Structure 1
Amino acid sequence: MLPPFIIEQIRKREEELQQRYEQPQLEIPRVVPPPRRNKEEPEEAERGVIIVEL
Protein backbone atom coordinates (compact mmCIF):
# COMPACT_ATOMS: atom_id res chain seq x y z
CA MET A 1 0.00 0.00 0.00
CA LEU A 2 1.19 3.49 -0.79
CA PRO A 3 1.89 5.99 1.97
CA PRO A 4 -0.83 8.63 2.48
CA PHE A 5 1.31 11.54 1.29
CA ILE A 6 1.90 9.79 -2.08
CA ILE A 7 -1.84 9.18 -2.47
CA GLU A 8 -2.46 12.84 -1.69
CA GLN A 9 0.13 13.93 -4.29
CA ILE A 10 -1.47 11.74 -6.95
CA ARG A 11 -4.91 13.12 -6.10
CA LYS A 12 -3.65 16.72 -6.34
CA ARG A 13 -2.00 16.07 -9.71
CA GLU A 14 -5.18 14.51 -11.06
CA GLU A 15 -7.22 17.49 -9.88
CA GLU A 16 -4.76 19.93 -11.50
CA LEU A 17 -4.94 18.04 -14.79
CA GLN A 18 -8.71 18.01 -14.67
CA GLN A 19 -8.82 21.77 -14.02
CA ARG A 20 -6.55 22.42 -17.01
CA TYR A 21 -8.89 20.58 -19.35
CA GLU A 22 -12.09 22.06 -18.01
CA GLN A 23 -13.15 24.94 -20.21
CA PRO A 24 -15.47 27.70 -19.05
CA GLN A 25 -18.77 27.68 -20.86
CA LEU A 26 -20.58 30.72 -22.12
CA GLU A 27 -24.21 30.52 -23.10
CA ILE A 28 -24.93 32.17 -26.42
CA PRO A 29 -28.13 34.22 -26.32
CA ARG A 30 -30.77 33.20 -28.83
CA VAL A 31 -31.75 35.83 -31.34
CA VAL A 32 -35.51 36.06 -31.48
CA PRO A 33 -36.68 36.85 -35.01
CA PRO A 34 -39.11 39.75 -35.34
CA PRO A 35 -42.77 38.73 -35.65
CA ARG A 36 -43.96 38.15 -39.18
CA ARG A 37 -46.33 40.66 -40.65
CA ASN A 38 -49.72 39.52 -41.79
CA LYS A 39 -50.21 39.49 -45.54
CA GLU A 40 -53.34 41.58 -45.01
CA GLU A 41 -51.25 44.50 -43.83
CA PRO A 42 -49.80 46.38 -46.79
CA GLU A 43 -46.07 46.84 -46.58
CA GLU A 44 -44.55 50.26 -47.03
CA ALA A 45 -42.81 49.11 -50.20
CA GLU A 46 -46.16 48.22 -51.81
CA ARG A 47 -47.65 51.69 -51.44
CA GLY A 48 -48.23 53.58 -54.64
CA VAL A 49 -49.56 56.87 -55.95
CA ILE A 50 -52.96 57.25 -57.61
CA ILE A 51 -53.58 60.31 -59.77
CA VAL A 52 -57.22 61.27 -60.30
CA GLU A 53 -58.02 63.94 -62.89
CA LEU A 54 -61.12 66.02 -62.31
Structure 2
Amino acid sequence: MYLQHFGLNEAPFSITPDPAFVYLSAAHRDALAHLMYGVGQGGSGGFVQLTGEVGTGKTT
Protein backbone atom coordinates (compact mmCIF):
# COMPACT_ATOMS: atom_id res chain seq x y z
CA MET A 1 0.00 0.00 0.00
CA TYR A 2 2.62 2.57 1.03
CA LEU A 3 5.17 1.24 -1.48
CA GLN A 4 3.40 2.92 -4.38
CA HIS A 5 2.72 6.09 -2.37
CA PHE A 6 6.42 6.59 -1.61
CA GLY A 7 7.64 5.22 -4.95
CA LEU A 8 9.39 2.21 -3.42
CA ASN A 9 10.18 -1.02 -5.25
CA GLU A 10 10.30 -3.17 -2.12
CA ALA A 11 9.57 -2.97 1.58
CA PRO A 12 12.19 -0.74 3.25
CA PHE A 13 12.29 -2.65 6.56
CA SER A 14 12.28 -6.32 7.44
CA ILE A 15 13.03 -8.57 10.39
CA THR A 16 16.43 -9.52 8.96
CA PRO A 17 18.81 -7.03 7.36
CA ASP A 18 19.45 -7.31 3.63
CA PRO A 19 23.21 -7.34 2.91
CA ALA A 20 22.56 -5.59 -0.40
CA PHE A 21 21.82 -2.38 1.53
CA VAL A 22 24.79 -2.44 3.92
CA TYR A 23 26.90 0.70 4.00
CA LEU A 24 30.35 -0.07 5.38
CA SER A 25 31.80 3.15 6.75
CA ALA A 26 35.45 3.27 7.79
CA ALA A 27 34.40 2.50 11.37
CA HIS A 28 32.31 -0.47 10.24
CA ARG A 29 35.19 -1.84 8.13
CA ASP A 30 37.56 -1.48 11.09
CA ALA A 31 35.14 -3.25 13.43
CA LEU A 32 34.59 -6.03 10.89
CA ALA A 33 38.35 -6.50 10.52
CA HIS A 34 38.70 -6.83 14.30
CA LEU A 35 35.85 -9.34 14.47
CA MET A 36 37.25 -11.42 11.61
CA TYR A 37 40.68 -11.40 13.24
CA GLY A 38 39.22 -12.57 16.56
CA VAL A 39 37.15 -15.33 14.99
CA GLY A 40 40.03 -16.53 12.82
CA GLN A 41 42.59 -16.95 15.61
CA GLY A 42 43.86 -20.44 16.40
CA GLY A 43 42.96 -22.00 13.07
CA SER A 44 39.65 -23.40 14.33
CA GLY A 45 37.86 -20.15 14.99
CA GLY A 46 37.39 -18.22 18.16
CA PHE A 47 34.85 -16.45 20.30
CA VAL A 48 34.12 -12.74 20.03
CA GLN A 49 31.50 -10.76 21.91
CA LEU A 50 30.14 -7.64 20.25
CA THR A 51 28.34 -5.18 22.51
CA GLY A 52 26.94 -1.70 22.05
CA GLU A 53 24.00 0.58 22.58
CA VAL A 54 20.82 0.28 20.54
CA GLY A 55 21.25 1.83 17.11
CA THR A 56 25.05 1.64 16.96
CA GLY A 57 25.15 -0.75 13.99
CA LYS A 58 25.79 -4.10 15.64
CA THR A 59 23.51 -5.91 13.19
CA THR A 60 25.37 -4.58 10.17
* TM-score scaled by length of structure 1: 0.34
Which entry has the higher C-alpha Rg, 1 or 2?
1
* TM-score scaled by length of structure 2: 0.31
